Each structure stands twice: as structure tokens, then as C-alpha cells.
């Protein structure tokens, strides 16, 4: 960057304005006037009216305002200073940018020694030739230098008038821009005959760096490097160290000698010395006679520079010679000083290069060969195209030179009838090219595919990946571009689209994404109008941005592509319209060209290539003439036509054939094969010393002869070019990523730290953005519930297990618990091995499923209480306090609703309430409509697999049509294709092994099949008379019956359900909770004969004959307890108007008692309504069959109407719902407990520990 930076002059300070006399006297005059008015008002008597003071006060305020404002003459400098500071900020940025660009420019010209080995891959190795302005300029180090773009002070006519603040800021900007630090500097060594360095190790490192720069940047035809003495072994790899004409057994003889005289003999044998000869004196301890090198200086003409480089001790002869006639440098690790006769001067910080780094550089330069006189015996090429492309023969390693001007995107593709090359120029016509887009049509056997391959290979051989990339599309099998995918230029090879038409849409997204990417990159870099301006600014160092290479899109069989997807022509038209500015070029090829197929693309196709066509009409469509139809049936012959020019006949080059090596003239290498008949000699070690042929032969004979290598297939030109560019590190931007595979394994996201409730379960394909992102689930926020929906065999169960494993991977089992309900085919069974899994229930495990849902509902309530108690405001706060998250997984939501309709409401409640307290739900279903809106609307994470009908999709119906049949494939938000990872037992085992030993989620405990009533928890002391009757399933807590509140209990159950045993247990509990109570037992089957001791038994009836009078008498006793009219309110409250025990009426087999012959309990019907006042509790048990009818019985109906608790035990659906409970099969002692005003809950009643309980009805 050259020129200057010119800041504006600072603003001038405002000049002080004189104050007019009238303005100075005005406040005094007004004060006097106000005082006079006030005095006049008081004297005249007007002062008594407050309003009379308004006018004087207004005059006072006006005077004060004038004094405060100071007039309009004062000028505020703050805005001007602020504007100038903004201007100076832009100047500072310009100065910083200029300094950075100066450093980068110098760094480009003089790279750091440690990076020299990379120049070969960048196409810059050995780029300097004789006559270049930087020839023989060797870098020494970095230093502080004058800016290339200095800041020029503005012209200031009168500095004393400037604003001082702005002037000081300008002075500081100018001062800070006087120097640029860290700029590489070099010396032109051609002006000196000797360069001496001193400083031990640091001097050796600098000398090594200087020689490395001469080897890495200068062409071996123009610069030779010779060594006198030992060391500098790494130079043997460089072509600069090889003798141009003398050879030994290993090739070119090395320019190395033990004495100066020997080196003089080697160098003077060269007919014409190159432009530069650098001689390194390795032995500088006085043993060398430098005068022996005089003939070299004499032989060097005015066009050759001979320079001696040595590391010596100060005060030596060579040092004194360097001080007086050359360059003498004193080197340390931190500074380098130039010593002259007048003293030392520091010039910068020296470069250093280690021997290992020098070795790497030398080996990287070994691929470049020095032309020898033997080249004169090479025959000329018979293929002008290959010769011009530099592929006759193909080199072992291609070196790229930037192609600019007319050479850019211009290559020979064939030869005309006279043998002259025929060029194809992809530049637009404004740049002298044929245009960015073209058409190629050729019938079967015309050589169309070979022509496309030749075009790609020719461009790849002449343009680096930084200048040109390819997208190669073959609608059919892909043979056209076979092997070209290894080129570093290739952004995409898209083949076999005919078999998978879904890839056509994906390719369209990828190409549209590339157009968008280029437009955004141009906009971000500085709103450039096109790639040409962008690249020009980048090369000039005006922007720091990556290169944007041209993109050639070659589409073979495009006509068939448009037949399958006619709408794809719109993309071609868009590329044709925008491709000029974006440097996106189209080359469309096809066997046939149908009329109207191009659909508006004709105007963008500026050049046409017609090989042998099927018909005259096709030839006219392509070229405007019938000539292509009349071509001979020889592959590769065709016409090329651009704009209004006449078609040019050519014959295409051939890159699929074997490499043709130039053959020496007879006798040129007669001795090369001598003595090696059927055998090859053993390879000797390549050293810096030269080998004689005799010595090499002796070594070979000592080591014996080895068999020749096996014959290998001949290499094609295409393969040779691919191999020659394999070393290039730069790779094309990937426009096309491979499509999603059939299956992928579960892989954690390495880019993000592992967090609870997050996981990667698959891959999302985003061709429009040219990337494939991990498919993540995140249950921490609004996505806390997950729904996986897909058709049968779409992989829902696998997706659910993958989600569970992804969430559990790397997370402690103390922090995350899973409760799994598998209503499918058992695909989640093995997840029970995970320490994070508390339970796995299958479709037939109704008890476990009910227990799971009940536990989680209780868990919601428990956590809500914890939130209130601890003041947690969010689930994050609860996690920080150590609370685990719980996930309910239900695989097969439709089957779950059908099998357990009553429990679906619990799931809906969990979805609504659980997320706030860290309880999540994961469901799988066949269709979205399987979920009620109340559930579906609360699902934040939706994973949609293949749908049975695309209309069922809730994400993108159009994208759903394209989902393949493979399990795990689906549609991600945004309409992108996705693939869920396939997991199996190995993944489960891997995650189990990562969990520390001993970590385990609490396993979900089921209700025991039998509970000893003596082990039930005792009710709290405050609940006087309450008894524990069993355990409830949801929380395994005690079920408490309060006789004084609940009063009555109705038990329904089938034979063998444990009705009698339940009554026996309840009687046992009542005996110890109501010490003053009496029992009246109606027991027709004699199952309760010994349940009540005689001292507590008020009556026992085993038949209707006994029961009828006994209950009639009991009814009279109870009626006597009814309150009489004279009872006071205090007595009613204290219930002390009667005395006696509480009566517990125990009736077993009520269905037998209330038979057709009359109900002995009928007399009690009148007093049941007053049971709370008269001390009456009733406990009925009966068969469940007919229970609905019995509820209309006067006695049982009256008991029910009093809010009695109901226990529904084993039964069938035919027994009908009883108080909202549908009877079902239950183990003995278990049923639904329905307390008044509460939801039914599953309860296991406690039983007395007696053998007879198992036999009870």
C-alpha cells in the first residue's frame, strides 16, 4: 500500500466576541426600573393587590435569563471537537491497516524461514528469476521501519488559532504513525562479495536462514549454492546444490568440496555460470585459502554475482575483509548489528532456522529438477496440447504459478487440422474470453466424456485450487468423472442421479447455497460488485479475506436431468444470470439436444461445442450449421464455436490413455542400462558427498543384485495429473457433502461440553448451507417434552432408545432417571441395564405401568412442595441443588391410550405440570393426530420420521414426500432431511461401563402381594381412632381410614379376592384404635367367628334367624341415642347426651344377608343418617357381581349416601363401573380405594398373618 494518509486540519478555536455597552448596562437599567415600579406601587396603594407584582417579576426573570445566556455570540466547541475526534479515529484505523498491510506485503515477499517449506504447495517455490526486482534480496530478520504510507500533516496557516485539544490529538496521531514495528527486511547480496557473520549459534541460525531463502525462492537455473567444508548436509536435496552438467552415480554431482581449489575446479567446469553463485565457507578457522577462489570471480562476468557467506570469529582476516569490503553482522538471539569501520549499528532482530527445519525445506525442494544437457536429446512432443499444458510427460509434482490476464481460465483442449492448439477460454467476453457458460453436444461414441475429462484435467494442471474449483455432475452412472474426485480442485462429484432423483433436489440446494455463500462473502468483505473486484482487492492487500476461486460446474447428460426435473432449468438460468459476477461457470453436456429443453438458457450459453451428432437438426441447434452431423465417426473430433465466429474444427486431446514418455535419441543413454540385464542394482544411500560410478558399482556388488520390481499397469495422463497435485494442501470448498448414509452410529458432540438433558441423536442434512449438523435434543427449556412420530417401520423405537442413550451418555445416574413404558415389541427392554433406568414396563405389566404413572404424579406434587419450601424459582435452581431430572418414555402412545385409557389423563397431567419441576415426557406415535391437542401443543421437541401419508406431516409436507423408506430417516425443522443414529446393545454396554460403580437410579418398587397388617405405619397421634388399612400404590404410603370422619366402608370383590380377610384385618385394627367400641358381626359363612373377642362382641349372627331380632334390638338401642327435643347445643357439640360404646357393624357377604327373604339390616336404615351422632360405623363386604343393583338397596344406598369409602377388589368389566371404577383382575387383597371426594387409588390391604387368610373369599 503506497501513497499518504492526509488528516484534516483541526478546527479553529472561536475568537472572543466584544460585549456591547448597551448589553452590559441593560441588567442595571432593568433592576433600577423594577425597583422604581415596586416603590411606585407601594406609594400609590397598588401594592395591596398581589397581581400587581406579575409584571416586575417577569422583568426580573428576563434580566436573569439574559445574564445567564451570555448572548448568542458564545460558540460551543464540543460538537466540533467530537467530529474531529471521529475523523482522527478513522485516521488511526487507516494507519493501523496500512501498517498491517505493509507487514503482510513484506512477509509475502520475504517469508519467515520456518514457513519456506510451504512455498511448494503454494506454487511459489523457486519463483524468482534473473531480472526480477527482488532477485538476490535475502531476508535478515525483522526491524522497525518507516511507514510505506506515511501520515502527512495538514497545512495549518495559523497554529495559534487552532483548538488546542484537537491539535494535541492530531500531534499524537502523527507521532504514533512515524514507525512500523516488526517489518521483515532484507539485503541485496549481489552488491557484496563477502558476508561474514559472528555470534556462534545465533550466527549459524541466521546463515542457515539466508541460504534457505536463496534456495526456496530462487530458480535453480539462476542460482547455484556451493559449500566448502563439512556440514550443510540438507543442501544435498536442493536442485541449487547440483552441478548443471557433471553427474555421478546418484545423479547431478553436488557442488561440495573440501578445499577452495577443488570447488574452483567444479565451478569453472561450468560453461556459463548462472546469475548468482552463493559459496558457503563452512570451515572458516583459517584452514581455507580464499585466494584459491579467485578464478571463480574472474570467470564470472558482469551478469553473474558471486557471494561468499561465512560464519567467523571477530577480528579474523575474513571478518576484517567483510568490514571493509562487504557486510559484517554481529548476531545474537535478540539483535543483529552491522559493523563498519565507523562502529556498530543495530538493524533489527535476526531470523533463525534450525537444522531440522532446514532438512524439511531441502526435502520439499527435492522434487524440482535441474535441467541438464541430456535434455537436449529429448524428442519433441507429438501432442501440442499436452506439451503446452506441461504434461509431456506429466511431472511428478506440479508447481502452480498464478495465472492472470489472458492466461486465466484459458487452456488448449485440442489441435486444429494444422496441428495448432485450439483453446477454450471460460472468461467472459469483456475479458477477451468466450463467455462463462457453454454447451457441449455429442452422440454416443463421439468422445464427449473424454473431452470433458480433458477439459477438467487441463484446467487442474494449470490452475491452483485457489484459482479454480470444479463441481462435476453426471446424471447417469458416473463413469465420466471417475478418478477426478481425488483432485484438490473438486468441490463435489455428484453421480447416479438417475437412480436417486431425491439427490437432484439436494444438488439444487447445494448450488443455490453456493451462490448465496459467494454473495454473502462479497458483501461481508466490503460490498464488492463481483469476484473480480474482490480478488483484485485481495491480491492488492486491501482486504484480509480468503481467495474465492472460480467454480466450473460441468453437468453431463443435463438434457436427461431436465427431463426428470424440468424445474431445474430455473437454477441453470439463475447461474447463467449471476455467474458472470460470481465466477460460476456452466458447461452443459448431453448426447441429444431437444428443442425447448433449455427453457430460456440459450441466451446465456456463449460458446458451443459440437462433436458428432445424431442428426442435422441437432448440429444446427448447437452450431447453426450441419457440419457436426457430417463429422467422421472418430472420437474426439468436433467443432467449437464462440459468439458470431465461425466454427473451428479440432481434435480433442486424450488424457485417459497411458503416459507417453519422451525417448532419448539413440546412444544418449547407452550406458544407463549397461550391465543391468534382468536385474537392478541395490540402492545406495544418498549423501552430500559425490559418488563415482566405480564406487557405486562396488557397493552394489557387495550388497548383491536384487530382483527387478514387478511390472505395474501403465499410468494414464489423468492419473499422473491427479498424483502430481496430491501434494497440494489447499482443498476446494466443499459445495456438496455426501448424502446421508443408510445408518450412522451414536456419536457424542465433541464440539460442546457434555450437559445434562442434552444429546446428539443423529444428523441433519443442510445442503443449502453446505453442512451437516448434529441432530440435538435439549430438554432444558421449552423443548423439555419430546414426541417421535412416524409410520410403522420408520424407526420410532430405535429413535426413542437413541434419545435415551444420548441423554444418559456421560451423565451421572444420580442426576437423570428414566421410567420406560414399552407398548411396542420390546425394543427398549435392554435399556433396563442402564443405571439411569428406574423401571421398564411392558404392555402386559399393567401394575408396573400404573405404579410408574402414580409415582410420577406424586413426584410432581412432592417437587412442587420442595420448590415452595426451598424458594427455587426454576428447574435450573433445583438441578443446582442436586435434584435429579426424570424422563417418562412411552413407546407406542396409541397402544397405551387403548390399553390404559384411564392412565392417559395422568400422562397429560405430567405433560402439563411436570416440565416446571424437572419431569419430562418422551412419546412415540404413528401420527400426530394420535395425540390430543392438549398434549401435542405442549411438546417442544418434535422428531418427525417418515409419515404414512405426507399430509400427516406437521413440519413440511413437501419435504415429507421425499423421505426414503430407510428407518431413521425423517424431516427436521426447516424441511431438512435427517437421520437418527442406529443404536444397539453395544451402545448400552458402552454407556453402562462409563458410569461409576455404585451409581444407580432408585428402582421403582411395586406393591407387595401381601402386607402384614401389623407392619403398617401407625397413624399420627392427632388422628384419634384412625387406622391404617393398607398401602397405596402411587407412593407406597399408608392408607388411613378415619371412623369418625369416613364412618362407613363398602367392600366389593369376587370369590377369592380376600373380602373376608380384609374385614378381619380392619376389625383387628379397630379393636386397638377404639378401646371402648363394641362389634356386631353378621357372618353367614362363619369367616369372622374368632375375629372379635367375646368381651368386645356385642352380638354375632350366623343366620337370618339370629340376625333379625338382634339387629332389631340394636336399632332400638341406637334410636334411643337420637337427640331429643330438649338437647342443648352444647350437648350436641360434645355428644354427651348418651353413653355407651361405639357400635361397629361388620357384615360379611351382604349379598346373602339382604336376600329375597328380607333384609335383617332394614331396621338400621332409619338411623344410618344419624350415624355420626349416635356412634355407629358400618362395614359391608359383598360379591362384586350385582354390586350396582345393591347400591340401590335402602340400607346400602343409605350407607353410600353418607359418603362411605368404597374398596373395589377383583372383578370383571362386566360387573360395570362402581362409583367411576371399572373392576378388573386383581390379586387378593388389592383393589381401588375410593374415598369420598378423592380420586381412586390402587391399594393393597393389610392382612393378619394367619394361614387362613389365603383361603378367604
pLDDT at 790 over 80: yes
Q: Is residue 173 part of a domain?
A: no
**What is the per-residue pLDDT across 88-116, written as a single tens digit (0 to 9) for each?**
999 999 999 999 998 988 998 999 999 99
Q: Which residues pair with 649 in a beta bridge?
A: 639
**What is the per-residue pLDDT across 592-608, written as a single tens digit (0 to 9) for each?**
887 677 778 888 899 99
Residue 22 and residue 30 in contact, taking contact as beta carbons nearer than 8 Å: no
| Alpha carbon separation from 495 to 474, 478, 485 (Å, rounded) | 5, 5, 11
The whole-angstrom separation of Cα 616 and Cα 88 is: 71
Q: Is residue 170 part of a domain?
A: no
979 and 933 part of one domain: yes
1181 and 1141 part of one domain: yes
| DSSP conformational letter for 520 | H
Q: Is residue 60 part of a domain?
A: yes
CA Rg, the chain, in Å?
50
Q: Residue 711 has what pLDDT? A: 39
**What is the per-residue pLDDT across 202-261, written as a single tens digit (0 to 9) for each?**
999 999 999 999 999 999 989 999 999 888 999 998 999 888 888 776 777 889 998 898
966 and 1114 part of one domain: no
The whole-angstrom separation of Cα 578 and Cα 558 is: 19
Q: Which residues pair with 327 in a beta bridge?
A: 195
The confidence band for 142, taking pLDDT boundaries of 50, 70 and 90, is very high
Q: What angle do CA 886, 1001, 836 make, to 5 degrees?
A: 70
Residue 1212 and residue 1223 in contact, taking contact as beta carbons nearer than 8 Å: yes
**What is the per-residue pLDDT across 64-78, written as a single tens digit (0 to 9) for each?**
666 655 544 445 678
Q: What are phi and psi of 1209, to 5 degrees?
A: -100, -150
Q: Residue 1188 has what pLDDT? A: 87
| Alpha carbon separation from 828 to 625, 824, 836, 1194 (Å, rounded) | 70, 9, 14, 53
The whole-angstrom separation of Cα 120 and Cα 1067 is: 99
| DSSP conformational letter for 532 | H
pTM score, two decimals? 0.63
pLDDT at 609 over 50: yes
Q: Which residues pair with 763 in a beta bridge?
A: 774, 979
Instruction: State percent of the chain over pLDDT 90.
Output: 49
Q: What are the residues whose beta carbons fall under 8 Å from the beta carbon of 1255, sequence distance 6 or more?
A: none
Please count the structural domains in the chain.
Answer: 5
Q: Residue 202 has what pLDDT? A: 92
Residue labelled with grid coordinates 526486482: 133
Q: What are phi and psi of 660, to 5 degrees?
A: -95, 115
Task: Tell me which residue range forms the domain holding 472.
Answer: 384-495+554-652
The whole-angstrom separation of Cα 397 and Cα 403 is: 18
Residue 1243 and residue 1008 in contact, taking contact as beta carbons nearer than 8 Å: no
Supply the CATH number for residue 1196's domain.
Answer: 3.40.50.300
The confidence band for 699, taking pLDDT boundaries of 50, 70 and 90, is very low
Task: Using the 3D structure, point to which of 335, 367, 399 is the last residue of a domain.
Answer: 367
Q: At what angle do helices 901-913 and 846-870 cross, to 10 degrees?
A: 20
477: its cell numbers:
452412472
CA atoms within 13 A of residue 1154's CA, in its CB half-sphere? 25
pLDDT at 563 over 80: yes
More confident residue, 1181 or 18: 1181
Asked whether the CA dihedral 98, 99, 104, 109 is positive or negative, the reply is positive
Q: Is residue 111 part of a domain?
A: no
Q: Which residues pair with 378 in a beta bridge?
A: 664
359 and 396 part of one domain: no
**What is the per-residue pLDDT across 1096-1153, written as a single tens digit (0 to 9) for each?**
999 999 999 999 999 999 999 999 888 888 888 887 777 788 888 999 999 999 999 9
Q: Over range 440-461, report the average pLDDT.
A: 93
The confidence band for 2, taking pLDDT boundaries of 50, 70 and 90, is low
Residue 610 and residue 628 in contact, taking contact as beta carbons nearer than 8 Å: yes
pLDDT at 707 over 50: no
Q: Is residue 410 part of a domain?
A: yes
Q: Is residue 704 part of a domain?
A: no
1064 and 1181 part of one domain: yes
pLDDT at 378 over 50: no
Q: Over range 804-814, report the average pLDDT.
A: 93
340 and 485 part of one domain: no
990 and 1017 part of one domain: no
Q: Residue 764 has what pLDDT? A: 96
The per-residue pLDDT of the chain, averaged, comes to 86
pLDDT at 52 over 80: no
Q: Residues for the chain: how many in total?
A: 1257
Annotated catalytic residues are: 557
Q: Is residue 708 part of a domain?
A: no
Q: Over range 292-306, report the average pLDDT.
A: 86
pLDDT at 666 over 60: no
pLDDT at 831 over 60: yes
1176 and 1141 part of one domain: yes
Q: Over range 947-970, report the average pLDDT.
A: 93
pLDDT at 365 over 70: yes
pLDDT at 708 over 70: no
The whole-angstrom separation of Cα 586 and Cα 577 is: 11
Instruction: State percent of the chain over pLDDT 70.
Output: 89
1176 and 1043 part of one domain: yes
430 and 325 part of one domain: no
**What is the per-residue pLDDT across 1237-1250, written as a single tens digit (0 to 9) for each?**
888 899 999 988 75
Q: Over range 341-359, report the average pLDDT.
A: 92
Residue 719 and residue 483 in contact, taking contact as beta carbons nearer than 8 Å: yes
Q: At what angle do helices 569-582 and 502-526 cross, to 10 degrees?
A: 20
Q: To which H or E segment does residue 1104 belong?
A: helix 1104-1120
pLDDT at 712 over 50: no
199 and 337 part of one domain: yes
Task: List the single range of 17-26, 534-543, 1010-1019 with lowest mean pLDDT.
Answer: 17-26
Coarse DSSP helix, strand, coil percentages of the chain, rounded to the nearest 5 percent: 40, 20, 40
The whole-angstrom separation of Cα 564 and Cα 570 is: 14
Q: Is residue 192 part of a domain?
A: yes
Q: For residue 909, which of 930, 932, 925 has the smallest C-alpha distance?
A: 932
Task: Using the 3D structure, point to which of 994, 1021, 1054 is the last residue of a domain.
Answer: 994
Q: To which H or E segment does residue 868 belong?
A: helix 846-870
**What is the per-residue pLDDT across 1001-1055, written as a single tens digit (0 to 9) for each?**
999 888 888 888 888 888 876 567 889 999 998 888 899 999 888 889 999 999 9
1139 and 1086 part of one domain: yes
More confident residue, 223 or 122: 223
Q: Residue 1132 has what pLDDT? A: 77
Q: To which H or E segment does residue 842 belong?
A: strand 837-842
Task: Using the 3D structure, point to which of 32, 65, 98 is the last residue of a domain.
Answer: 65
Amino acid at each position: 500500500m503506497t501513497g499518504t494518509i492526509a488528516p484534516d486540519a483541526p478546527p479553529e478555536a472561536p475568537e472572543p466576541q466584544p460585549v456591547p455597552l448597551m448589553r452590559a448596562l441593560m441588567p442595571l437599567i432593568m433592576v433600577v426600573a423594577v425597583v422604581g415600579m415596586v416603590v411606585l406601587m407601594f406609594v400609590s396603594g397598588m401594592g395591596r393587590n398581589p397581581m400587581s407584582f406579575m409584571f416586575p417579576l417577569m422583568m426580573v426573570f428576563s434580566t436573569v435569563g439574559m445574564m445567564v445566556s451570555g448572548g448568542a455570540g458564545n460558540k460551543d466547541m464540543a460538537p466540533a471537537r467530537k467530529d474531529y475526534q471521529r475523523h482522527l479515529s478513522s485516521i488511526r484505523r487507516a494507519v493501523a491497516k496500512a501498517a498491517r498491510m505493509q507487514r503482510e506485503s513484506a512477509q509475502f515477499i520475504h517469508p519467515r524461514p520456518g514457513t519456506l517449506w510451504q512455498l511448494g504447495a503454494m506454487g511459489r517455490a523457486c519463483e524468482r528469476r534473473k531480472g526480477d526486482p527482488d532477485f538476490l534480496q535475502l531476508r535478515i530478520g525483522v526491524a522497525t521501519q518507516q511507514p510505506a504510507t506515511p501520515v502527512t500533516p495538514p497545512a495549518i496557516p495559523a497554529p495559534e488559532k487552532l483548538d488546542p485539544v484537537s491539535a494535541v490529538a492530531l500531534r499524537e496521531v502523527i507521532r504514533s504513525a512515524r514507525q512500523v514495528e516488526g517489518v521483515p527486511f532484507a539485503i541485496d547480496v549481489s552488491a557484496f562479495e563477502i558476508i561474514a557473520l559472528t555470534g556462534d549459534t545465533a550466527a549459524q541460525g541466521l546463515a542457515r536462514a539466508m541460504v534457505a531463502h536463496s534456495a526456496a525462492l530462487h530458480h535453480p537455473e539462476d542460482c547455484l549454492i556451493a559449500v566448502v567444508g563439512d556440514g550443510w548436509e540438507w543442501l544435498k536435496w536442493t536442485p541449487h546444490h547440483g552441478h548443471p552438467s557433471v553427474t555421478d552415480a546418484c545423479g547431478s554431482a553436488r557442488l561440495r568440496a573440501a578445499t577452495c581449489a577443488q570447488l574452483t575446479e567444479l565451478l569453472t567446469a561450468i560453461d556459463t555460470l548462472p546469475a548468482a553463485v552463493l559459496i558457503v565457507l563452512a570451515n572458516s578457522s583459517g584452514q581455507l585459502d580464499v585466494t584459491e577462489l579467485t578464478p571463480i570471480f574472474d570467470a564470472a562476468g558482469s551478469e553473474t554475482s558471486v557471494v561468499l557467506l561465512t560464519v567467523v570469529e571477530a577480528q579474523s582476516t575474513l571478518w576484517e575483509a567483510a568490514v571493509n569490503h562487504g557486510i559484517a553482522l554481529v548476531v545474537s538471539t535478540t539483535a543483529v548489528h552491522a559493523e563498519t569501520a565507523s562502529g556498530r549499528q543495530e538493524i533489527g532482530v535476526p531470523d533463525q532456522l534450525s537444522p531440522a527445519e532446514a532438512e524439511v525445506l531441502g526435502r520439499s525442494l527435492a522434487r524440482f529438477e535441474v535441467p541438464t544437457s541430456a535434455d537436449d536429446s529429448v524428442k519433441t512432443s507429438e501432442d501440442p496440447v499436452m506439451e503446452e499444458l506441461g504434461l509431456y510427460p506429466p511431472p511428478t509434482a506440479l508447481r502452480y504459478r498464478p495465472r492472470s490476464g489472458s492466461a486465466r481460465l484459458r487452456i488448449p483442449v485440442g489441435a486444429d487440422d494444422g496441428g495448432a492448439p485450439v483453446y477454450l477460454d471460460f472468461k467472459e467476453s469483456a475479458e477477451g474470453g468466450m463467455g462463462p457458460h457453454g454447451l457441449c453436444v455429442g452422440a454416443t461414441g463421439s468422445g464427449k466424456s473424454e473431452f470433458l475429462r480433458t477439459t477438467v484435467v487441463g484446467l487442474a494442471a494449470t490452475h491452483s485450487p485457489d484459482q479454480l474449483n470444479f463441481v462435476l455432475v453426471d446424471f447417469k452412472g458416473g463413469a465420466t468423472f471417475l478418478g477426478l474426485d481425488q483432485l484438490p480442485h473438486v468441490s463435489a462429484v455428484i453421480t447416479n442421479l438417475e437412480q436417486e432423483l431425491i439427490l437432484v433436489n439436494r444438488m439444487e440446494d447445494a448450488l443455490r447455497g453456493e451462490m448465496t455463500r459467494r454473495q454473502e462473502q462479497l458483501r461481508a468483505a466490503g460490498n464488492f460488485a463481483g469476484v473480480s473486484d474482490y480478488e483484485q482487492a485481495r491480491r492488492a492487500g486491501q482486504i484480509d479475506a480468503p481467495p474465492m476461486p472460480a467454480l466450473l460446474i460441468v453437468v453431463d447428460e443435463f438434457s436427461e436431468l431436465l427431463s426428470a426435473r424440468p424445474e431445474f432449468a430455473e437454477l441453470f438460468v439463475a447461474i447463467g444470470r449471476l455467474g458472470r459476477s460470481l465466477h460460476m461457470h456452466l458447461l452443459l453436456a448431453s448426447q441429444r439436444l431437444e428443442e425447448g429443453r433449455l427453457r430460456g438458457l440459450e441466451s446465456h450459453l456463449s460458446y458451443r461445442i459440437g462433436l458428432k451428432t445424431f442428426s442435422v437438426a441437432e448440429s444446427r441447434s448447437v452450431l447453426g450449421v450441419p457440419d457436426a452431423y457430417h463429422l467422421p465417426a472418430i472420437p474426439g473430433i468436433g467443432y467449437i464455436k464462440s459468439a458470431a465466429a465461425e466454427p473451428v474444427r479440432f481434435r480433442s486431446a486424450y488424457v485417459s490413455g497411458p503416459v507417453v514418455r519422451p525417448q532419448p535419441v539413440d546412444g544418449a543413454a547407452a550406458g544407463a542400462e549397461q550391465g543391468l540385464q534382468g536385474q537392478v542394482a541395490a540402492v545406495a544411500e544418498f549423501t552430500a558427498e559425490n559418488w563415482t560410478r566405480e564406487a557405486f558399482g562396488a557397493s552394489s556388488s557387495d550388497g548383491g543384485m536384487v530382483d527387478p520390481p514387478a511390472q505395474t499397469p501403465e499410468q494414464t495422463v489423468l492419473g499422473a495429473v491427479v498424483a502430481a497435485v496430491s501434494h497440494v494442501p489447499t482443498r476446494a470448498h466443499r459445495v456438496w457433502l455426501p448424502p446421508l448414509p443408510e445408518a450412522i452410529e451414536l456419536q457424542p458432540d465433541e464440539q460442546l461440553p457434555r450437559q445434562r438433558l442434552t444429546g446428539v441423536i443423529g444428523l441433519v442434512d443442510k445442503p443449502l448451507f453446505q453442512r451437516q449438523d448434529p441432530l440435538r435434543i435439549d430438554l432444558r427449556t421449552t423443548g423439555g417434552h419430546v414426541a417421535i412420530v412416524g409410520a410403522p417401520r420408520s424407526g420410532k423405537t430405535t429413535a426413542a432408545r437413541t434419545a435415551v442413550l444420548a441423554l444418559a451418555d456421560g451423565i451421572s445416574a444420580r442426576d437423570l432417571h428414566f421410567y420406560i413404558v414399552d407398548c411396542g415389541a420390546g425394543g427398549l427392554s435392554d435399556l433396563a441395564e442402564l443405571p439411569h433406568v428406574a423401571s421398564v414396563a411392558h404392555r402386559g405389566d399393567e401394575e408396573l405401568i400404573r405404579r410408574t404413572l402414580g409415582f410420577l404424579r406424586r413426584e410432581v406434587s412432592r417437587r412442587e412442595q420442595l420448590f415452595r419450601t426451598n424458594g427455587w424459582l426454576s428447574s435450573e435452581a433445583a438441578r443446582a441443588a442436586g435434584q435429579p431430572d426424570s424422563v417418562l418414555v412411552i413407546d407406542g402412545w396409541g397402544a397405551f391410550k387403548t390399553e390404559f385409557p384411564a392412565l392417559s389423563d395422568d400422562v397429560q397431567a405430567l405433560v402439563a405440570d411436570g416440565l416446571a419441576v424437572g419431569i419430562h415426557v418422551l412419546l412415540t406415535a404413528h401420527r400426530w393426530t394420535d395425540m390430543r391437542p392438549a398434549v401435542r401443543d405442549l411438546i417442544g421437541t418434535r422428531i418427525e420420521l417418515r409419515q404414512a401419508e405426507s399430509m400427516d406431516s406437521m413440519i413440511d409436507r413437501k419435504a415429507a414426500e421425499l423421505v426414503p423408506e430407510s428407518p431413521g430417516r425423517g424431516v427436521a425443522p426447516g424441511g431438512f432431511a435427517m437421520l437418527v443414529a442406529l443404536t444397539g446393545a453395544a451402545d448400552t454396554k458402552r454407556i453402562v461401563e462409563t458410569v461409576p460403580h455404585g451409581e444407580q437410579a432408585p428402582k421403582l418398587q411395586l406393591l407387595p402381594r401381601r402386607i402384614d397388617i401389623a407392619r403398617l405405619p401407625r397413624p399420627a397421634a392427632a388422628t384419634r381412632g384412625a387406622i391404617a388399612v393398607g398401602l397405596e400404590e402411587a407412593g407406597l404410603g399408608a392408607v388411613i381410614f378415619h371412623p369418625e370422619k369416613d364412618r362407613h366402608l363398602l367392600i366389593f370383590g369376587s370369590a377369592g379376592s380376600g373380602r373376608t380377610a380384609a374385614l378381619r384385618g380392619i376389625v383387628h385394627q379397630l379393636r386397638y384404635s377404639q378401646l371402648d367400641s363394641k362389634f356386631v358381626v353378621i357372618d353367614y359363612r362363619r369367616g369372622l367367628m374368632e375375629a372379635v373377642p367375646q368381651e368386645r362382641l356385642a352380638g354375632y349372627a350366623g343366620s337370618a334367624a339370629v340376625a333379625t331380632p338382634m339387629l332389631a334390638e340394636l336399632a332400638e338401642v341406637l334410636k334411643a341415642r337420637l337427640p331429643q327435643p330438649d338437647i342443648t347445643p352444647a350437648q350436641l357439640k360434645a355428644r354427651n347426651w348418651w353413653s355407651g360404646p361405639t357400635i361397629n357393624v361388620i357384615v360379611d357377604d351382604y349379598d346373602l344377608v339382604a336376600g329375597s327373604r328380607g333384609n335383617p339390616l332394614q331396621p338400621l336404615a332409619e338411623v344410618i343418617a344419624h350415624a355420626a351422632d349416635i356412634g355407629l360405623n358400618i362395614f359391608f363386604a359383598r360379591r362384586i357381581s350385582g354390586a350396582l343393583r345393591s347400591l340401590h338397596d335402602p340400607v346400602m344406598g343409605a350407607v353410600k349416601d353418607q359418603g362411605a369409602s368404597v374398596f373395589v377388589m377383583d372383578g370383571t368389566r362386566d360387573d360395570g363401573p362402581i362409583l367411576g371404577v371399572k373392576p378388573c383382575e386383581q390379586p387378593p387383597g388389592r383393589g381401588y380405594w375410593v374415598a369420598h371426594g378423592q380420586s381412586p387409588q390402587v391399594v393393597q390391604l393389610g392382612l393378619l398373618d394367619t394361614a387362613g387368610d389365603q383361603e378367604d373369599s
